[in-house]
Structure 1
Amino acid sequence: MTTTLITGANKGLGYETARRLIEAGHTVWMGARDAERGKKAADELGGRFVQLDVTNDETVAQAAQTITDADGLDVLINNAGIHGTITDADELTAADAAEVYETNVVSVVRMINAFVPVLRASRTPTIVNVSSGMGSFGTVLNPERIESQLIMPLYQSSKSAVTMLTVQYAKALPEMRVNAADPGFTQTDFNEGHGHFTVTEGTDAIVELATRNGSGPTGTFIDRDGTMPF
């Protein structure tokens, strides 16, 4: 049986990914900062709750130990993320940038550092980083794409960094499958329910990458329709 950990799993894309993977037969650890919300979400779906704040070294280390002591881990899904302060670009501050990058970028490094030793014991070690077309040069410069109509310097650049981290970790960890997923413009509370895709459609690429059983390409960036431009 495949064991998967999803960060930010108590709502939105993380919750729906957990639901679908549990349905597919995975044992799913649902990570969340808030214990009450996380336990409630896990109870609803039949998942396992683990308290996990991706910006906090101690809780990440504790979660890694808990999962190591249980079943180990086959799939790590780095889903937790924030859009940060929404304001005019020239009003953004260094503190705003630090907040977004700590959650969206630094925490990917923190999670991979903590969980690679656990994943190395798996026969099918897999890392899925939830990135975004908002961080793709190919989409933000394409006037036919909605991503080109939005100006969110911190969020968009942080997702560019996530995609590059994915490529670099794929090269550094050739024994693992390390890929990035773009959910697309999905209806979640992250964007106040706006979006072209349902939350189920938004998790298609994530679920696809998480269910390849350690096979397939590595260092790629996909959405529900296939390969995405970097």
Structure 2
Amino acid sequence: MARSGSRPSYQEAARELLRTSVLDAVRDLLTERDWSKITLGDVATRAGVSRQTLYNEFGSRTGLSQAYALRLADDLVDHVAAAIAANVGDARAAIRDGIANFLIDAAGDPLVRSLVAGEVKLDLLRLITLDAGPLLEHAGERLAAAFQHSWVAASAAESEVLAHAMVRLAMSYIPTPPTPDRDTPAELSLLLGPYVEAILAARAPS
């Protein structure tokens, strides 16, 4: 399904279904063995597609791993967007709930679990650390749109500041999860919530 909210064409819907099936297959395989032991043939077989289809869509093994990392970032955006819709007028609750649900889901991801355990390979680690630029940009643009086109109604500039800060902070907890004594979602809501509240206050009638 197109994430922009517009109705997708048949070709777009088919491509989205293909990517979802393939990335779900990668996730399933990661629960069974290390990424280094998973071949593109394994992924194609599990997803029920040909290797050529896999190559046509993702280009290479690196392209496939990049797509998997991008889906983690998309999960963050989807959780925050859902929390915005569920907490109309309450910026702190929206940020807290969105971040909390993302961290819960991320903690259960097999790639993230391997990363935290120190088992993940450098090429995958770089995708969400040193080479995370495309991931951060992609998620930042999507999240900025969520802040613009919701009850927050932030300007493009305000949305960009807020979205990119939130994405960078939230994704930084993937390789270094918060300790049990820290309530990270609550802390981030205390940090970022006042910025949204200032946007709302400036727009309110005097």
Fold in common (TM above 0.5): no
Tell me the TM-score normalised to structure 1 length: 0.31
TM-score, length of structure 2 as denominator length: 0.34
The structure that has the greater radius of gyration is: 2
Q: Which has the higher strand share?
A: 1
